[in-house]
Amino acid sequence: MRLSVLVVDDEPHARRHIKNLLSKDDEVAIVYECKNGKEVLNFLKNKIPDIIFLDINMPGISGVEVADKLKNTESLIIFSTAYDQYALKAFELEAFDYLLKPFEDQRFYDVLQRAKTSIEKEKQASFSQRFASLYKEYNNSLTPHLSEFVIKDKGFEYKIHTDEVLYIEASSVYVLIHLKDKNILYRTAINLLEQQLPSNFIRVHRSFILNTDFVKKVKYLNNSTYSLTIENEDVIISSRKYKEAISRKFS
């Protein structure tokens, strides 16, 4: 396994320390660094590292603000800070872990190893997803597809054809159907809906299914992720596990 890591800290010696620890792990192939939140957000427009070590107290955009903007990222975020009062907020933002400075080298390597194990499991899940995708394609050839949604609203009932849908987003026990001029909440599970949609729809993330007819730009980022731009200019970042399906669909 070859990993890419981004180290974010406004203090040069803190970045050097983490980079030095990472240099002793043979599976870490590339180490990037940023010194503030603005640099991170610009960096992530073109690259998605496997792991981000993220300081919290930085000038301008804080690490917490950065993490809040990256809720759908596939990178594992590990906070690294001298202030323990941010621990609860870190986990609310779904951070993978929290390193409290100054930390012992062994604590760092324990966290890194758990992160690597998590990434490896994700890659194995990607293989399973590829098999499931192939099965879906076969199954879709045998069964009729959902052609329209029946929407009930305040006593009225109307239909939306699937060819009008830009993309679908999971929202708890509902899905949000994105159209060109509005969004509609529809009660169903996204996993169930995925099996019913016609072949021009593709799952690219646990929370998103896209209508490929409305995808106007597909850009490979790195680490098996893609940026997909919809006709309404919304941008969806894919999950690693859907790399094979996306590659086949848009090749």
190 token code pair: 């996204």
Query: CA torsion sign, 64 to 73 to 211 to 197?
Result: negative
- Rounded Cα distance, 142 and 88, in Å: 49
Quote the percentage of the chain above a pLDDT of 90: 52
189 three-state secondary structure: coil
pLDDT at 137: 60
Query: CA torsion sign, 162 to 165 to 166 to 171?
Result: negative
* pLDDT tier at 68, thresholds 50, 70, 90: confident
Mean pLDDT over each residue of the chain, to the nearest integer: 87
The three-point CA angle 62-46-114 to 5° equals 65
Cα 216 to chain centroid, rounded? 20
Residues facing residue 125 across a β-bridge: none
Burial 158-179 (b: 16+ CB within 10 A, else e): eeeebeebbbbbbeeeebbbbe
Burial class (CB in 10 A: 0-12, 13-18, 19+), 54: buried
Burial 219-248 (b: 16+ CB within 10 A, else e): eebebbbbbbebeeeeebbbbbbbbbbbee
* pLDDT tier at 152, thresholds 50, 70, 90: confident
| Sequence-distant (≥ 6) Cβ neighbours of residue 7 within 8 angstroms | 15, 18, 19, 22, 31, 32, 33, 34, 53
pLDDT at 140: 56
Domains of the chain: residue spans and CATH: 3-123 (3.40.50.2300), 144-250 (2.40.50.1020)
* pLDDT tier at 46, thresholds 50, 70, 90: confident
pLDDT at 126: 54
Phi-psi region of 155 (alpha: psi -120 to 50; beta: other; left: phi over 0): left
Reported as type and span, the H/E element at residue 177 is strand 174-178
Residue 88 has pLDDT above 90, yes or no: no
